[in-house]
Amino acid sequence: MGKDNLDEELMVEDESLSDLHTNSVYRTLRILESLSYNMGRTLEELAPITGLARPTLYRFLTILTRMGYVSKNKDNRYRLTPRLFTVAAHSIDDVELSRIVKPFMEDLSFETGETTILGIRDDDEMLHILKVESRYEARFYERIGKHSPIYCTVMGLVMLSGISEDELNIYLQKERLIPFTINTVTDPLELKKRVQKVREEGFAETISEYEQDIHSLGCPIYDHDGRVIASVSINWPLFREEPGKRDMCLEGLKKIAATASSLMGYKEAGIENSI
């Protein structure tokens, strides 16, 4: 990046900071924060608290109400709705889950020498939120924050196993199934069979389906409502395949998933904290 471009970016940043009180994002967050401490206030009461003119405040409150973050009762008093807390809860869950799972992923990576990854669904893609790398120089390379397809990755198949048949049909109708390797399953009916198999067996397995010459295993992590909220996987290159490795990795992965699910409040007969 040249000096002129850097100077321009700094100028924009300075202008944004100096103009903060007229910034839409700042005003929106200011309103939400004010409401959190002043629930049930009228427009007239909120205006001096937020420091916004009543017409401006009314415009923002109307938008937030339409989006479902704010409600207004018959007396024209405003409150935050549970939707805001739901959005925050998802973030808290992801952070808490990463904290819970990380030491177990580190143990499995140490025992096997291979890369373990924690992923969650982000719309119609998988998002990698935690990674413990292989100790080998030649490794399965992934980065935190990477997005990958759902239909042809081991973590994605796990996430698909946790949705209803109707939701799966909707996903398959709108998703374009592109082959990444010669082993990528692109037939919707075949993919549905694979998802059903994951449901029945409790884990997913792929070999050279998204990335060539990579063997991957994935298991679901459940929350207290029994929903699949994440997938934990282990991945290694095929040239390090050896007798008993798959079974050892799968056993360790299942223990991680069962323990994490239990710590997230999931209860099922036969599932106990086993680590």
Measured CA to CA, the distance from residue 103 to residue 18 in angstroms comes to 44
Long-range contact pairs involving 23-31 (C-beta distance under 8 Å, separation at least 24): 27/52, 27/56, 27/60, 28/60, 28/64, 31/57, 31/60, 31/61, 31/64
Altogether, the residues listed in the chain come to a count of 275
Q: Which DSSP symbol is given to 243?
A: T
Measured CA to CA, the distance from residue 102 to residue 223 in angstroms comes to 17
| Correct CATH for 86-263 of 2.30.110.10, 3.30.450.40, 3.40.50.720, 3.30.70.520 | 3.30.450.40
Measured CA to CA, the distance from residue 70 to residue 80 in angstroms comes to 5
Measured CA to CA, the distance from residue 42 to residue 59 in angstroms comes to 14
Domain range summary for the chain, segments of one domain joined by +: 3-80, 86-263
CATH (residue range 3-80) = 1.10.10.10
pLDDT at res. 91: 56
Mean pLDDT of 51-68: 92
Mean pLDDT is lowest, of 11-20, 83-92, 234-243, for: 11-20
Q: Which two tokens stand for residue 215?
A: 């063997």
Taking only the tens place, the pLDDT of each residue in 185-227 is 999 999 999 999 999 999 999 999 999 999 999 999 998 889 9
Confidence bin at 180 (pLDDT 50/70/90): very high
Is pLDDT of 82 > 70? no
pLDDT at res. 258: 94
Mean pLDDT of 260-270: 78
Q: Which two tokens stand for residue 223?
A: 């929350």
pTM: 0.65
Taking only the tens place, the pLDDT of each residue in 139-156 is 556 667 778 999 999 999
Is pLDDT of 92 > 60? no
pLDDT at res. 86: 57
